Amino acid sequence: MSSTETITVGIGALSAEDVVAVARHSLKVNIGADSIDAMEASRAVIEALVSDPTPHYGVSTGFGALATKHIPVEQRTQLQRSLIRSHAASSGAEVDREVVRGLMLNRLSTMATGRTGVRPVVARTYAAMLNAGITPVIGEYGSLGCSGDLAPLSHIALALMGEGEVRNNDGVLSPAAAALADAGIEPVELREKEGLALINGTDGMLGMLILASADLHLLLRTADLAAAMSVEGLLGTDGVFAEDLHSLRPHPGQIVSAANIRSVLAGSKLIREHSSAEDSAHRFTRVQDAYSLRCAPQVHGAARSTLTHVESVAAIELGSAIDNPVVTVDGRVESNGNFHGAPVGYALDFLAIAVADVASMSERRTDRFLDKARNHGLNPFLAHDPGVDSGHMIAQYTQAGIVSELKRLAAPASVDSIPSSAMQEDHVSMGWSAGLKLRRALDGLTRVLAIEILTAARALDMRDGGVPTSRSSPAIHAARVELRKVVEGPAADRYLAPEIEAARVLVDSGAMVAAVERVVGLLN
């Protein structure tokens, strides 16, 4: 999608594709006229409460455990400013630009519903910051995933006020005031309730969920490709992927995965020749392939089903107005608990489990290639000269180390809770932490699949003499050709880390899947 295109943020829900486009590809945004009208109407409700002697949370009171404190009119601008300054308390490594932009867009989307009581100028300034590529600097620690992603969102609001640090569109670190001035954007002085409205949301964890879902769609297609390459390289059977077998247990994700693997293996001379040789010699050395080969559609399919559920959660969240208090359609200002991140936190944790299991199965397939007792005639560790050379022995160690970490990352963040705000906020979701660890898990899965593809391609080259004499299926031949553009074929041991990285880049960019899809059409 071109970065010159624009989407309209309005009362209707954004799509996940919109979020990815703005967060990752710098799509421009504008605000719909319907949203401007709705914001003006809800702002009028807040303005009417300014002089009301009855306390209203976020308008005339303190926050959290300090909500019993009445704030006089003359201190309410300072109240909002102090809220943002004190809550912009993140620490640690800088959060990725795309996560910050996703967070900003999701908060803008909630403002655009007209249920938060902010003035249109606040939303317009948010949009202007996104369009100018101004990205506030946020540390990875600071959100408990309840009462909103408080610290991350506060850093955005701080930049809106012209304070704190940001990165400009070129990634250069700059004071927020200078970056706003360079972009011709006026800082905003926040008024009653506006500071609170900018920080009460699940926007950061939701953005991470949406970005992770987009990444996992590609990685699951890549996992099907890797499994097919391993089946072929280990002289397995493609019979177990037959459509009628999977219709007996018709989980949708499993059916999709089996269909992908069938497409990638279609026309494999290696599989046909091996099967014919066994039949003609009446040799039945293997009645069944190992689980890591035979059951790939069941595991990859279960991951797809998990992803389908997670995307349904994200779709509901994208269509929600998350704030506290909220201005209802009939003009009431009501406290609520919709900022609690449990629905998103659970979804993030669920995906981390699926990611770990897909990677675990990939590592097991790789390991089979390296064991002479199980690789059906290949050299130990796929070494060029075993003993002198070690081949891919330590590449599997790298995979194993990653998989071990992925198992730790699969431990759910959302089962933890640390009370905060003097026990007013006594149960929190840890959804932000779940999002950060899922992003690390996806990076690990990318690397694990890259090593499997690298290993399977080496095994296939050793088995059939290399790409020029390839007996692979047309799809796997295309994958091998793509890999050989950046990694040489089997020979004496070479510096292996750059080859793993080159394969990772091909997987991460989608180039490996694209090479296959040019042959067989789109995988699902």
pLDDT digits (tens, 9 = 90+) for 136-182: 999 999 999 888 899 999 999 999 999 999 999 999 999 999 999 99
Whether residue 233 sits in one domain with residue 354: yes
Whether residue 281 sits in one domain with residue 164: no
Whether residue 75 sits in one domain with residue 95: yes
The last residue of a domain, from among 201, 225, 242: 201
**Cβ(254)–Cβ(197) under 8 Å?**
no
Whether residue 217 sits in one domain with residue 194: no
Whether residue 506 sits in one domain with residue 444: yes
**C-alpha to C-alpha distances, 231 to 235, 288, 299, 398, nearest whole angstrom:** 6, 12, 15, 22
**Cβ(354)–Cβ(410) under 8 Å?**
no
The last residue of a domain, from among 201, 235, 261: 201
Q: Where are the alpha helices (DSSP H) in 88-172?
A: 97-112, 120-132, 150-160
Q: Note if the pTM is more than 0.75.
A: yes
Q: Characterize the bridge pairing of strands 165-167 and 173-175.
A: antiparallel
pLDDT tens digits for 328-363?
999 999 989 889 999 999 999 999 999 999 999 999
Question: 1 in a domain, yes or no?
Answer: no
Q: Taking residues 405-414, what's their average pLDDT?
A: 96
Whether residue 239 sits in one domain with residue 112: no
Q: How far apart are CA 228 and CA 222, in angstroms?
A: 10
Q: In total, how many domains does the chain have?
A: 2
In terms of residue numbers, what domain contains 117? 6-201
**Among 224, 220, 295, 208, which Cα is nearest to 259's?**
224
Whether residue 183 sits in one domain with residue 56: yes
**Can you give the pLDDT at residue 1?**
47
The catalytic residues are 57
The last residue of a domain, from among 169, 201, 233: 201
Average pLDDT over the chain reads: 93
Amino acid at 135: T
pLDDT tens digits for 426-455?
888 889 999 999 999 999 999 999 999 999
Residue 499 tokens, joined: 């080859």
Whether residue 268 sits in one domain with residue 175: no
Q: HSE-up of 386 (CA within 13 Å, CB side)? A: 9
Q: How far apart are CA 264 and CA 273, in angstroms?
A: 17
Q: What is the CATH number of the domain that holds 377?
A: 1.20.200.10
